[in-house]
Amino acid sequence: MFSKACQYAIRATLFIAQRSLEGERVRLKTIAKAIDSPEAFTAKILQQLARNKIIHSIKGPSGGFEIADHDLDTIRLIKIVEAMDGDQVFDGCGLGLKQCNAAKPCPVHNKFKIIREELKNMLVTTNIRELATDLSVGSTVLRM
């Protein structure tokens, strides 16, 4: 469904969010260990998230990554997915047909449409605070 980079990005964002709720800033190494991802690759992903204003990065000793409290409410899952994978997940034809649209639908157009719309809706309505809070309450882990 999503690229590996996108999956790491969501896991990393949730972990940072959870720590940000507690007022803590986290370093790359900590994040990579926590979400069980390759450290160097994760660094690239965090850069991309920072460029897209999804997380905030601080250089230097005692630096790291954090998410401002008010961003926890405004940042939705879709923002992460779009930053990493673009929008071809929910837009575009399920069969890869460029000319497929409501006026000239491919045979599975309408069947896919419903699912894509639900997926998009879910991503648009889910914010980071909600997920991070769930994460803190439950015993769930972001590792593999």
Partner DNA sequence: ACTAAAAAGGATAAAAAGGTCTTAATATCA
Partner DNA sequence: TGATATTAAGACCTTTTTATCCTTTTTAGT
Q: Does 105 bind a second copy (CB under 8 A)?
A: yes
Answer for which of 34, 78, 89, 129 binds a second copy (CB under 8 A) is 89
Query: Where would I find the H helices in 22-92?
Result: 28-35, 39-51, 71-74, 77-85
Whole-angstrom distance, CA of residue 38 vs CA of residue 61: 22
Answer for which of 36, 47, 73, 111 binds DNA (CB under 7 A) is 47
Q: Which residues contact 127 (CB under 8 A, 6 or more apart)?
A: 72, 73, 74, 75, 76, 77
Beta carbons of 78 and 91 less than 8 angstroms apart: no
In the complex with DNA, the residue whose CB is nearer, 63 or 74, is: 63
Q: Which does 104 bind (CB under 5 to 8 A by kind): a second copy, DNA, none?
A: a second copy
Counted residue by residue, the chain has a size of 144
Q: Does 69 bind DNA (CB under 7 A)?
A: no
Answer for which of 58, 68, 95, 124 binds a second copy (CB under 8 A) is 95
- # chain residues binding DNA, by CB under 7 A: 27
Binding-site ranges for DNA (CB under 7 A):
3-5, 8, 27-29, 37-41, 43-44, 46-47, 50-51, 57-65
